[in-house]
């Protein structure tokens, strides 16, 4: 089974590349983030033509998530347990589904903006709700993983120059502590364990030639339980999909499993 995650940074703008990538990479399951469209506007017809079932959760604002599956799609859950809102809005940032006997969650963790911003406090509350959800979900006996854009670099090696981030989000101690607490529920950061080469970045800003310079971050993560992680046979970041005109600022992360 091939399971992937990709922040497409607008499914409408990225649709031609998304369809081409689905056809070439052939994931059985794809977790998608940052749809920037409503459920009604999601390109379901084009994607189902490729053999995928679709579950989306979007309102048209700067977020939205989805799960695409060729191996079945059941038990869809939209939103986290006790999910907090931001400015009295419950944002569509998490969706869970069971696909081919594997339980996956596609998540788009809030950015946080700045450590002293209200959005940062919201980010930490949101991560608490994610932990609560994971604990509840893991009570079931099935391979399980949370995939998506976490907007957190787990270690200093996961940013191109940690000295440039001393007063920035994505690397602060409270954010990384939240990731550690998520791991403490019994999850493993799959990529460093599976990759046969140094941990690559998954995100590069559009500005200042960040991609050609490889000034990136590893913030798109796959956190999995022992049943999922133990079945991983390969994993990679598809850097080629970050190249060229009309690319997202994130690259797909792909995990192959033998279940």
Annotated binding site: 7, 34, 149, 151, 249-250
* Cα 16 from Cα 111, distance rounded (Å): 27
CA distances from 135 to 9, 91, 132, 169, 185 (A): 29, 21, 5, 26, 6
**∠248-251-256 over CA atoms, to 5°?**
145
Tokens of 177: 């502590």
Active-site residue set: 108, 149, 250
| 150 neighbors 221 (Cβ within 8 angstroms) | yes
Radius of gyration of the chain (CA): 17
* Residue 229 host element (H or E): helix 226-229
Q: What residue numbers does the annotated binding site for Mg(2+) cover?
A: 7, 34, 149, 151, 249-250
Q: How far apart are the first and last CA of the chain?
A: 7
């Amino acid at each position: 089974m091939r399971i992937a995650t990709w922040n497409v940074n607008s499914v409408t703008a990225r649709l031609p590349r998304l369809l081409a990538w689905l056809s070439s990479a052939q994931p059985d399951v794809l977790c998608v983030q940052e749809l920037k469209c409503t459920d009604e506007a999601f390109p379901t017809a084009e994607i189902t033509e490729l053999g995928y079932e679709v579950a989306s959760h979007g309102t048209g604002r700067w977020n939205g998530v989805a799960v695409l599956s060729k191996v079945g799609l059941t038990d869809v859950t939209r939103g986290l347990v006790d999910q907090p809102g931001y400015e009295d809005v419950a944002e569509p940032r998490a969706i869970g589904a069971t696909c081919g006997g594997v339980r996956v969650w596609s998540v788009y963790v809030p950015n946080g903006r700045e450590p002293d911003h209200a959005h940062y406090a919201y980010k930490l509350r949101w991560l608490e709700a994610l932990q609560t959800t994971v604990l509840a979900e893991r009570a079931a006996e099935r391979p399980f993983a949370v995939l998506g854009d976490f907007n957190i670099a787990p270690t200093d090696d996961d940013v191109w120059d940690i000295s440039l981030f001393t007063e920035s989000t994505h690397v602060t101690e409270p954010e990384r502590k939240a990731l550690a607490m998520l791991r403490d529920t019994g999850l493993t950061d799959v990529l460093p364990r599976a990759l046969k080469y140094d941990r690559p970045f998954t995100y590069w800003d559009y500005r200042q030639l960040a991609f050609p310079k490889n000034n990136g971050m590893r913030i798109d993560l796959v956190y999995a339980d022992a049943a999922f992680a133990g079945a991983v046979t390969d994993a990679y970041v598809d850097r080629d999909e970050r190249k060229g005109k009309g690319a997202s600022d994130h690259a797909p992360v792909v995990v192959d499993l033998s279940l």
